[in-house]
A and B are shown apart, each in its own frame.
Chain A
Amino acid sequence: QVQLVQSGAEVKKPGASVKVSCKASGYTFTDYYIHWVRQAPGQGLEWMGWIDPHTGGTNFAQKFQGGVTMTRDTSITTAYMELSSLSADDTAVYYCARSYRQFFDYWGQGTLLTVSP
C-alpha cells in the first residue's frame, strides 16, 4: 500500500534552517510528483511547491521561491524539503503529498515545525 512517512517534529530558532523528509513506499517513487503543503496554526492549507522525483525538477509558489529547496534521493525513495532563514511565521505543520494527474491522492502524516527563540 502507498505510504508517505515524514520525519518527526522540529523546534528551531529564528534564522536557522530545517530539512524535513518524506519516505515513500508502496509505489514506483519516480512515477509521481511529490508536493509540500503547510498549515500554520488557525490557517488554511498552503501549497509550497513540487519536485519531480524522476528528474529532480522543481516548481514553487512565488512566495517560497528562493527560500525553499526541494530535493530527493531516489536510492532511498525519499523527498526532502528544506526551509531556510526561519521566522515565527514558518511555524506550521508541513505535509508531503503525492500527486496523480492534478490532485493529491496520498498524504504524509505531517511534521510540526515550531520556530521559537
Chain B
Amino acid sequence: QSALTQPASVSGSPGQSIAISCTGTSSDVGAYNSVSWYQHHPGKAPKLMISEVYNRPSGVSNRFSGSKSGNTASLTISGLQAEDEADYFCSSYTSSSTYVFGTGTKVTVL
C-alpha cells in the first residue's frame, strides 16, 4: 500500500487561506468517505482535525474544512494563524481493511 500523496510544504501569510491536497486511488480515498486529517506538532501526539472527509470534531476551529473529489481529498485552512504552523497528515481506510497515511505537509505561516 503506497502512501497517499501530499505536497511537502504549503505556506501562507496570516489571514490567508491555504489548501492541502491528498491524492490516493480508487482503492482508498476514492472508495470510501473515510478520509481524515491530523495536525502534528513535533514531539506531541497527532490531533484529529477532520473526520470522514468533512466532519469537524468538537473543539476544532471552523477555520478548518475538508472536501473530496474522486481520488483527491483536500484540507483548507482559512484565516491562517501562527498556531496553525505544523505538519498535517491525511489518512484513509482502504479496500484491504487497512489504513494508509499521506506523506505529510509542512504548513508554514509567513
Q: What is A's interface to B at a CB cutoff of 8 Å?
A: 35, 37, 44-47, 49-50, 59-62, 95, 97, 101-105, 107-110
Choose, from B13-21, B46-54, B68-76, B77-85, the stretch at the interface. Answer: B46-54
Instruction: Tell me whether B101 and A37 are in contact (CB under 8 A).
Output: yes
Instruction: Tell me whether A45 and B40 are in contact (CB under 8 A).
Output: yes
Q: What would 11 more interface pairs be, CB under 8 Å, given A45-B40, A62-B1, A104-B36?
A: A37-B101, A44-B104, A45-B46, A47-B101, A62-B98, A95-B45, A95-B46, A101-B51, A101-B52, A102-B36, A107-B47
A-B contact pairs, 29 of them (CB 8 A): A37-B101, A44-B89, A44-B102, A45-B38, A45-B46, A45-B89, A45-B101, A45-B104, A46-B101, A47-B98, A47-B100, A62-B1, A95-B45, A95-B46, A97-B46, A101-B51, A101-B52, A102-B34, A102-B36, A103-B48, A103-B51, A103-B91, A104-B38, A104-B46, A104-B91, A105-B48, A109-B44, A109-B45, A110-B43
A107 to B104 CA separation, bound complex (whole angstroms)? 18
Majority secondary structure of chain A interface residues (helix, strand, loop or mixed): strand
Instruction: Tell me whether A104 and B98 are in contact (CB under 8 A).
Output: no
Nearest residue (CB) in A for B93 is: A102
Nearest residue (CB) in B for A105 is: B48
State the total of A-B contacts with C-beta under 8 angstroms. Answer: 65
Instruction: Tell me whether A103 and B45 are in contact (CB under 8 A).
Output: no
Nearest residue (CB) in B for A59 is: B97
Chain B: minimal CB distance from A100 (Å): 8
A104 to B90 CA separation, bound complex (whole angstroms)? 11
Instruction: Tell me whether B104 and A108 are in contact (CB under 8 A).
Output: no
- Residues of chain A within 8 A (CB-CB) of B109 are none
Instruction: Tell me whether A103 and B36 are in contact (CB under 8 A).
Output: yes
A35-B99, A37-B101, A47-B91 as given contacts; A108 in contact with B36, CB under 8 Å:
no
Could you say which of B3, B52, B98, B104 contacts A103, with CB atoms under 8 Å apart?
A: B52
Chain A: minimal CB distance from B10 (Å): 15
- Residues of chain B within 8 A (CB-CB) of A109 are 44-45
